[in-house]
Structure 1
Amino acid sequence: MLIRCWGARGSIPVSGREYLKYGGDTTCIEVVAASGETVIVDAGTGIRSVGNRMLLEGRLECTMLFTHSHWDHILGFPFFKPIYHHNAKISVHGCPLAQGNMETLLAKTMAPPYFPVPFKDIAANVSYEPACLEEICVGSLNISSIALNHPNMGLGYRFEEEGRVFVFLTDNELGQHHRGGRNFEEYVAFCAGAQLLLHDAEYDEDDYTRTKGWGHSLYSDAVELALAAGVERFGLFHHNQDRDDHGMDCMVAKCKSLLGARNSTLDCFAVQQGEEYSL
């Protein structure tokens, strides 16, 4: 399984020389199965680059999963070029939860007066799965889900293939309970034994004094989850829009200090836009 990050930023895209290392596009993860199928998680602004690469490589089929439908996770959808290609085939999965069905939600991103091209002009063959995802197979990938601890709810995903595991839990607040969310032990069980965990770690201690309850984790809580679950690699995700490259480097240093004090060999890093992981 090949995992590519096309956007790791939270809330709103950013640009500038101070964001060059970790990138400014919002959430979009691509997972390519050993059997060749493409799965895209979320349609933040990073999805534009995924679509460009897919067309360049002649890949016109994909499965799309959504963690939830806050703006930073869907606002790139109108710029995903395969939706305008007559030969493209896209299967969209998304749990309605408290937010409505994904077809309606995605249509809103192209509704006037916010976007000039109407949703009805999509040329691709797009199918929508209305039911909440519990477990599906896409080629050689087995994909399961868990409810996120986040306002308006959402889903996190576990990808398994040939004994290798990748877990993606963004917009998941470990330090506060939200309606529909799970407890810490349940997230530990969901992440257990993963070779790679990417988890929301937006806030440091100063941030969290005023942002507790906003739906994002304190980095140290995410480290504790990674340790308890026994994962091999842990990537900080959903970078705050005001945290520049230096700030992210400092957060990684704090994580490594925590791990050093525990004599842990866990590989901790902050996810960089454009990074690839092969499992």
Structure 2
Amino acid sequence: MLIKCWGSRGSTPISGKQYLKYGGDTTCIQVTAQSGETLIIDAGTGIRELGESLGNKANCYLILTHAHLDHVAGFNFFKPLFHSDSVVEIQNSCFSGVTVENILNTLMSPPLFPITPKDLKATVRYRTDLTGTFSIGSLTVETIALSHPNGGFGFRVTEADRRFVFLTDNEIGFDHGGGAGFDDYISFARNADLLFHDAEFTPDEYRLRRGWGHSTYIEALDLALRSGVKRLGLFHLNQNRTDRQMDQIQADCRSRIKAEGSTLDCFAVACNMTFTL
């Protein structure tokens, strides 16, 4: 499978010369199967540029970790929606009792937006079967409940013997109700080839933000070491975190890994990074 990040920033998109290295777009991940299907995880502002790359004719699947604004804010600007040759299949799960279809239709309605769902040219299908464990071409997708306000899903994507685990907006050390426990996340990520995990806060920042739904980079690293993953991508980068500060966090993680005698590869996930598993 081919994995590309189109946005790794958390909470809100940002811009400025101090954010060029890691980018300012919010969450959007593209997974391309060997069988040719395109799976998109989250519709943050990064999905706009992804849509430009797909062009006027696209067949794709969209699944959401959850429905907070930074994870759906780019949906209205996804180019394939406006072309009749495109087919977009969307996971129609519920968040806080509201379906994804209702959430996205609300985003695309006055006074929030001048274009409504009836104006879309693409074939858009909302599917209730894209939940739990399901297949998209040669990909098998499994889900786990996130520890996050209003709930959410983490995903494990497997193709042949390769595994990609995506756990963003996941507060490891706090029980939001309905989420899984630390041992469950270890099992879910066990021996994955690639793990992206929420690393929003430093330990000092977290003391004032406990219960906000995000982990520290130390917790993300601990999870990766305990689960035996090969590569850890620090994700959901804080909206105020500059490139230099993110480099320092990455360096700290690598120093801790060396002290543990581990071979784990750890890095901060930047926009436009690609991975082949």
Q: TM-score, normalised by structure 1?
A: 0.97
User: 1:124/1:173 Cα in 2 relative to 1: closer, same or farther (>3 Å)?
Assistant: same
Aligned counterpart, 1:45: 45
Identity, % of aligned pairs? 49
Aligned counterpart, 1:36: 36
Asked if the contact 1:101/1:130 (under 8 Å) is kept, the reply is no
Shift of the alpha carbon at 1:179?
1.3
Asked if the contact 1:69/1:99 (under 8 Å) is kept, the reply is no
Residues 9-54 of structure 1 show CA distances to partners (whole Å, capped at 9, x for unaligned) of 0000000110000000000000000011000000000000111111
Asked if the contact 2:67/2:95 (under 8 Å) is kept, the reply is no
Aligned counterpart, 2:239: 241
93-102 vs 262-271, greater mean Cα deviation:
93-102
Aligned counterpart, 2:96: 98
Aligned counterpart, 1:89: 87
Q: Structure 2: state its 5+ residue gaps.
A: none
Aligned counterpart, 2:151: 153
Residues 195-238 of structure 1 show CA distances to partners (whole Å, capped at 9, x for unaligned) of 00000000001210111110000111110110111000000000
SS of the aligned residue for 1:249 comes to helix
Asked if the contact 2:57/2:83 (under 8 Å) is kept, the reply is no
Aligned counterpart, 1:129: 127
Shift of the alpha carbon at 1:59?
4.8
Query: Superposition pairs for residues 47-126 of structure 1, below 5 Å?
Result: 47-55=47-55, 59-126=57-124
Aligned counterpart, 2:3: 3
SS of the aligned residue for 1:261 comes to helix
Give the letter aligned to residue 256 of structure 1.
R
Give the letter aligned to residue 153 of structure 1.
G
Shift of the alpha carbon at 1:99?
4.5
> Matched residues in 1 for 2:112 and 2:246: separation?
33
Give the letter aligned to residue 150 of structure 1.
H
Q: Structure 1: state its 5+ residue gaps.
A: none
> Matched residues in 2 for 1:75 and 1:205: separation?
29
Q: TM-score, normalised by structure 2?
A: 0.98
Asked if the contact 1:96/1:132 (under 8 Å) is kept, the reply is no
Shift of the alpha carbon at 1:132?
6.8
SS of the aligned residue for 2:208 comes to helix
SS of the aligned residue for 2:50 comes to helix
Show structure 1 runs of 4+ deviating over 4 A.
none
SS of the aligned residue for 1:158 comes to strand
> What is the number of equivalent residue pairs in this alignment?
277
SS of the aligned residue for 1:36 comes to coil
